[in-house]
């Protein structure tokens, strides 16, 4: 059976991600549950760093000017880290990766889309940053690049013109 997909309808266009439910059931399952519930609908990308990544999923980003944008998580709290040795999925361009605070088991609703190869964020490389990949963009990569090159404010890397995810629609595999 194929993995589920999620279509993101944004203020800059649409893109679609395959979610690796087969390899990352905790992390992908968490995203899918939140997306199906409508949690992500109406939120904004709160952190954009050109030639690095775009970050999304903070409930406080419903107001794109909120000083709390980037600090929140899902109503159910954090999830268990998922680092399966048999699936060494790298933070390659156009992959979805779980954001966290740097502490164990601190991921929740926030994730980022890599716009370049950020292999130093892989859970299986030396270092303290450990971000599991749980999906990849399969359509609309140009939209992701457009979001990734949006002008931002300093400090904070917040888009000057807010980029909203109007709706995420999940299609079962």
The residues that are catalytic are: 47, 52, 55, 100, 112, 121, 131
Token output for 60: 């406080």
Q: Where are the beta strands (DSSP E) in the chain?
A: 5-10, 13-19, 47-49, 53-56, 95-98, 111-114, 133-139, 165-171
- What are phi and psi for residue 18, nearest 5 degrees? -90, 135
What order do you get walking across the sheet with 13-19 strand by strand?
47-49, 53-56, 111-114, 95-98, 133-139, 13-19, 5-10, 165-171
Report the SS3 class of residue 41. Answer: coil
Nearest residue to 79 via CA among 20, 22, 27, 24: 27
The sign of the torsion formed by the CA atoms of 17, 89, 24, 75 equals negative
């Amino acid at each position: 059976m194929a993995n589920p997909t999620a279509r993101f309808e944004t203020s800059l266009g649409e893109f679609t991600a395959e979610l690796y439910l087969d390899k990352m059931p905790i992390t992908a399952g968490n995203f899918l549950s939140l997306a199906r519930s409508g949690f992500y609908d109406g939120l904004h990308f709160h952190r954009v760093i050109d030639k690095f990544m775009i970050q999304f999923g903070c409930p406080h980003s419903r107001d794109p000017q909120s000083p709390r944008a980037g600090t929140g998580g899902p109503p159910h709290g954090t999830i268990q880290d998922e680092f399966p040795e048999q699936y060494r999925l790298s933070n390659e361009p156009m992959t979805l990766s779980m954001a966290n605070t740097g502490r164990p088991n601190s991921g929740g609703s926030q994730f980022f889309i890599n716009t370049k190869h950020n292999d130093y964020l892989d859970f299986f490389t030396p270092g303290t940053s450990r971000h599991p990949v749980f999906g990849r963009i399969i359509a609309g990569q140009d939209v992701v690049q457009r979001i990734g090159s949006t002008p931002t404010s300093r400090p904070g890397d917040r888009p000057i013109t807010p980029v909203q995810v109007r709706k995420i629609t999940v299609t079962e595999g």
